[in-house]
Amino acid sequence: MIKAELRRLMLARRRALSAEELAARSAGVAAQLFAGFDVAAWRAVHVFLPLQRRQELDTWPIIRRLWAAQPAPRVVVPVVEADGTLTHRLLTPDAPLVESAWGIPEPVDAPQVAPAELDAVLLPLLAFDERGQRVGYGKGFYDRFLLDCPQALRIGLSLEPPGPRIEDAWPGDVPLHACVTPERVWHFGPAAAELR
C-alpha cells in the first residue's frame, strides 16, 4: 500500500478511537517499552509530546516514568523552529510548556541537546510495516533528524500492529530498529539486536 492511502486509513482509525481506548493503548505501549528495552542504560531519550487534537499516542506516562527512574535519563523533545527545522530541547518536570503553531506543546527557553548525545529516539508514526518502514505525517522532519543521530536506537511507538508493506518507501526514509505496540515489541534488521 502506498503512504498516502495508509495515512488516510490510519488517521480515520485513530479518530474513531474513544478516549478510553486511546488511554489503554498508550498504557500498553508504555508497559511494552519498559519491559522490552534496557531503559536504565539510556542517558538521553528523545520523546515526542502528543498532539491531542490528532489523538496521538499519549507519551506522558513514558516521560513520567523516565523522570522517576534512578538514574533518570535526560528527556529531550522536538521543537519546530520558524524555518521548519527541528531542534531538540531538554524537558524537565517543572518546564513551562506553550503550544506551537503546529499545536505541539513545547518547553519554553529549554537548553538545546545535540542529536549526537541521544541514546534512543521514540518516534511518532501513523503506520509501520514488518520491514521497519514507517509512515508519518509526510513532512520528513524525523527522516532528516535521524541522519544526525545514527548512533541512537530508533523505536517507533504505534497504536496499531504493523500494516501492509509500504510500497513507496525510498532511500531517504530512515527505517526503525524496533516498534512498540500495545501487545508487543517488533524488531527489525540485524542492528536492532545489538542496540537493545
In the chain, where the domains are located? 3-195
**What average pLDDT does this structure show over 70-96?**
91
Q: Whole-model pTM?
A: 0.92
**Of all residues in the chain, what percent carry a pLDDT higher than 70?**
96
Confidence at residue 131, expressed as pLDDT on a 0 to 100 scale: 92
Please say whether the beta carbons of 89 and 59 come within 8 A.
Answer: no
In Å, how far are 37, 86, 98, 115, 141 from 145, measured between CA atoms?
22, 7, 22, 8, 6
Task: Report the CATH number of the 3-195 domain.
Answer: 3.40.50.10420
Dist. CA 60–CA 23, nearest whole Å: 11
pLDDT over 90 at 20, yes or no: yes
Q: Tell me: the pLDDT tens digits for 62-80?
A: 999 999 998 899 999 999 8
pLDDT over 60 at 194, yes or no: no
Rounded to 5°, the CA angle 93-97-101 comes to 150
Q: Tell me: the pLDDT tens digits for 109-164?
A: 999 999 999 999 999 999 999 999 999 886 778 888 998 999 999 999 999 999 98
Confidence at residue 191, expressed as pLDDT on a 0 to 100 scale: 54
pLDDT over 50 at 195, yes or no: no
Enclosing H/E stretch for 88: strand 86-91
The chain-wide mean pLDDT, for the chain, equals 91
Amino acid at 64: R
